[in-house]
Amino acid sequence: MDIGLTPGLTLADARARVPQLAAVEMDHAADAAWLERIADFCDRYTPMTALDAPDGLVLDITGCAHLFGGEKGLLDDLVARLSHGTTQVRTALAGTPQAARALARFGQPHVIVAPGGEAAAVAPLPVAALEAGAETMTALLRAGLKTVGDLACRPHKPLVARFGAALAARLVRLQGGENIAIAPRRPVPVCSAERRFAEPLTQTGDVLATLEALAGHAADSLEKRGHGGRRFDAALFRTDGTVSRLTIETARPVRAPEVVTRLFRERIDTLGDPLDPGYGYDLIRLSVPVSAALETAQHTLDGRQVEDEDVTALIDRLSTRFGRHAVTQFVPAETHIPEEAVRAMPAGHAAAQATHWQMAPADARPMRPVHLFAQPQPIEALAEIPDGPPLRFRWRRVLHEIARAEGPERIAPEWWRGDEGSRTRDYYCVEDSHGRRFWIFRHGLYEELPHHPRWFMHGLFA
Amino acid sequence: MQPTLIELQRQITALAPMQKPTDQQGFVTLGAERADAALGSALARGALHEMFAAQAADAAALTGFCAGLAQCISGDAGRIVWIRQGFSETEAGPLFMPGLAALGLDPAHIIHVRARRPEDGLRAALEAVRCAALGAVLIELWGMPRSLDLTATRRLALAAEASGTTPLLMRLAAEPGPSVAQTRWQVAAAPSRALAANAPGRPAFDITLLRNRAGASGQRWHLEWDHERKRFRHAATVSGSVAAVPDKRPVPAPVERLARTG
C-alpha cells in the first residue's frame, strides 16, 4: 500500500511505521453477512452460487453467459456493479472452480481463460496458489520450484512420492484436469423463470403482475413433467444489489398462476416490513425448489373433489397469511398421557389427512374433556376419604362444591420411558353445584407419599 | 358398536355424496322438539349466529354447545374451521381433540387456526366463511375487541349469505354489542342428569335465546347433547324428572369472573 504497509505485518510493526494508525478488531460476522449479501446479488447471474469463505464467491455460469452478451459481458457487468463503493473485486473465469479461484487470488485481475487454456494460464502463478500448507510450500521453494509451471513440467511420480498424492491432485485440478462441482448455497430449483427490466419496477401491483406471468412460464415447464410446485420462491433484485425473497408453501402441488399469485399477494400483505422497492427492481425471478407429482383432477359426480380443492386452497391462503404453525390439524399420538395424546400438524399435511380418530364408542358420557390445559394447574382440594373424589376444591380463587363425581380413572406413568419424577394420576370427572364439569387428578398415591398428594385441574368438560 | 362397524360406517359416510343435512332446507334443527318449534326458521344456514358464554367460566360449555351445533349445521362429512385467539388458550385451555371426538365431532374434519390478535381472527374468519366447501366456521374471541364492530359482523354475514357457510361467533368475557347476527344466544353450563352412583352425565346446557331476528326471543331451554344421535334433546323430558339437584346447593354468586391467578 502507499504508506508502506503490507498484508501479514504485525500490528506492532505497522504502528511503528505509521504511528497514527487506527486498528479495528475484525468483525467476522459482519464480513460473513456482507459476503452473503454479495452472494445474494450474484444470484442474478446464475442459480449456482457458492460461498468461498471468508472472502470469495464461486459462480457456476455454465449456460448463463449468453444472457449477458457472453462471458466478457457478464464479467464486465459484475465488476461494474460490484466495484463502486468500497468493495474491491478480483475476478477470473476458468473451466474449473479451482483454476478460477487460483487465478482470481494470485493472477492478474479479471482474467478470462479460454476453454482448455487453464494449464497455460496457471503456469506463471506462484506455488502458493496450490494452497498446500506452509510446510509443503517451504519444501517446494527450497527445491527451487517457484511457479505452478515449474511443478507441472516435473514428472508426476516423483512428485507424488515426495509431496504426497494430495498435492498432485491439487495440481491437476488447478490445471483444469478435473472438475469438481460446487455446492450451491441454495438447492438448484426444479425450474425457474425470470424477467429483467430496463426500467426498474417500483409498484407492488407490477411486481405481482410479473410474478403471475412468471408463474405461467413455470406452470408450462412443470406441466411437462406432470408436476406441481409445493414451494415457490420469488427473488426481487433491487438495482442497488439488495435482494428480497418471498416464499410460499402449499399443502398440495399447484401450478395455476392465479393461485400462486394470490398466495404471493397474501404473503406481501402480511410482511412485517412492507416491501421496500428502493429505486426499483430490475430483475424478478420465480423459482420452484420443491415440486411433486400432480395428477390431473378427475371430477367425481358428487363434486367432492372440487370441495377438497377449495378447502386446500383455503388452508394455503390461511397458512401463508398466519404461518404454517398457526393453521393446524391434529393427529392422535400413541400414549396414555393425556397432554401428549394429540399432536398438531400443519393443516393439509398428508399424515393429518390419513388419520382416523377413535370416535366415541357408545359411552354414557364423554370420557375426555373438550379443553385440556397443557400444564395441569394446582388446586386445593379436600377429599372425604383418602382414595375418594374431593368434596370441594378451590381453583383460581373460586371455591367449587362438588355435586357429582366419577372415578378414579388411573393413568400410570409410562415406565418404559424412564421418567423418574412422574407419578400415577387418579383422574376424577366432577361436576360442581353450578353444573360445570371438570377433570381433576390426584398426583400420586396416598400410600406412596409421606405428605398428602397434590391435586391438579387438568381439563374442562362441556 | 364394534370398531369395525364404526370404521365401515365412516367409510360409507366418506363415500356418500357430501350434503348438508336437509332436515328443513336452509334451516338447522337442534333436535329438541320444543326448542325447534319455537325457533322456526331462526337458525338459518349461511347466516351469522352469535353465542355468548354466560360467564368466562362457561367457556367449556360454550365449546361443547358450539361443537354440537356445528354438527347439526354441517352434518357428518362437513369440514369445520375453528379459529381461536391465543388468549383463550391460556385462559380456558387448548381444545382437546379426544374430547371433541367424544362429542361426535370428528377431529379429522377440524382445521384449527390460532390467531394472535382478534383482527387476525376476524380476517381468517372472513376468508374461511367465503369458502363454500366448509360446513361451519367457529370464531372464538375473548373480551370486547374494538375490531369486532357492526361492520365486521356485517362482512361476515354477507360472506356467509354468499357462500352458504355458517359462521358461529363465540364470545367469552363479553357483553352483547352492536351486531347483525341472525340470532344471539347465551350458553351456560347446567347440571347434568346423574348416571349410576351419582356420576356426571351427558353434557347439559342452559341456553337462552337473547335475540332472534326471525321471531320471538327470550326463551330458555335446558338442553342435553346426545352424541350418538348427534342432536340435542330436552334434558328434562327424557327421564321425566328434572335433573337431581344436591340439597346443599349454595346460592350462585352474583358475579363470578374467572380470576387470573399466577
User: What does the pLDDT look like over A389-446, one tens digit per residue?
Assistant: 889 999 999 999 999 999 889 998 888 877 666 788 999 999 999 999 999 999 887 7
pLDDT at B250 over 70: no
Mean of per-residue pLDDT scores for chain A: 86
Q: How far is CA B13 from CA A133, B7, B8, B10, B19, in A?
A: 72, 10, 9, 5, 10
Q: How far off is chain B from A368, nearest CA to CA, in Å? A: 4
Mean pLDDT of A174-178: 81
Can you give the pLDDT at residue B128?
95
**Chain A residues with CB inside 8 Å of B225's CB?**
462
pLDDT at A368 over 50: yes
Q: pLDDT exceeding 90 applies to what percent of chain B?
A: 51
pLDDT top residue among A321 and A5: A321
Does A399 touch chain B if contact means CB atoms closer than 8 Å? no
**Chain B residues with CB inside 8 Å of A330's CB?**
97, 107, 110, 112
- B66 sits in which H/E element: helix B59-74
- The angle formed by the CA atoms of residues B183, B188 and B191, to the nearest 5 degrees, is 135
pLDDT at A352 over 80: no
Contact: A370, B131; criterion CB under 8 Å? no
Can you give the pLDDT at residue A172?
86
Cα A254 to the chain's mean position, in Å? 21
Q: How far off is chain B from A405, nearest CA to CA, in Å? A: 5
Read off the pLDDT band of A122 (50, 70, 90): confident
Phi and psi for B138 in degrees, rounded to 5?
-105, 125
First to last CA, chain B: 44
pLDDT top residue among B245 and A199: A199
Can you give the pLDDT at residue B248?
45
Can you give the pLDDT at residue B239?
42
What's the CA gap between B234 and B218, in Å, rounded? Answer: 17
Read off the pLDDT band of A300 (50, 70, 90): low
Range with the lowest mean pLDDT among A128-132, A314-318, B246-250?
B246-250
What's the CA gap between B14 and A300, in Å, rounded? Answer: 13
Contact: A401, B79; criterion CB under 8 Å? no
**Chain A residues with CB inside 8 Å of B255's CB?**
none
The second-level CATH assignment, the architecture, of B43-55+70-238 is 3-Layer(aba) Sandwich (3.40)
Say how many CA atoms lie within 13 Å of A248 toward its Cβ: 32
* Nearest alpha carbon to residue A342 among B203, B3, B100: B100
What's the CA gap between A218 and A226, in Å, rounded? Answer: 12
Domain segments of chain B as ranges: 43-55+70-238
pLDDT at A153 over 80: yes
Using an 8 Å Cβ cutoff, are A345 and B78 in contact?
no
pLDDT at B252 over 60: no
**Chain A residues with CB inside 8 Å of B120's CB?**
322
> In chain B, positions 91-130, which contact chain A (CB-CB < 8 Å)?
92-104, 106-108, 110-116, 120, 123-124, 127-128
Domains of chain A in sequence order = 1-89 (no CATH), 118-188 (1.10.150.20), 191-317 (3.30.1490.100), 371-461 (no CATH)
Q: How far off is chain B from A430, nearest CA to CA, in Å? A: 7
What are the pLDDT digits (tens) for A185-244?
888 888 889 998 989 998 888 999 999 999 999 999 998 988 999 999 999 999 888 888
What's the CA gap between A328 and A319, in Å, rounded? Answer: 9
pLDDT at B253 over 80: no
Chain A: residue whose CA lies nearest to B201: A365
Using an 8 Å Cβ cutoff, are B207 and B221 in contact?
yes
Query: Which of A366, A405, A460 is nearest residue B59 as measured by Cβ atoms?
Result: A460
pLDDT at B241 over 50: no
pLDDT at B242 over 50: no
> In chain B, positions 205-224, which contact chain A (CB-CB < 8 Å)?
205-206
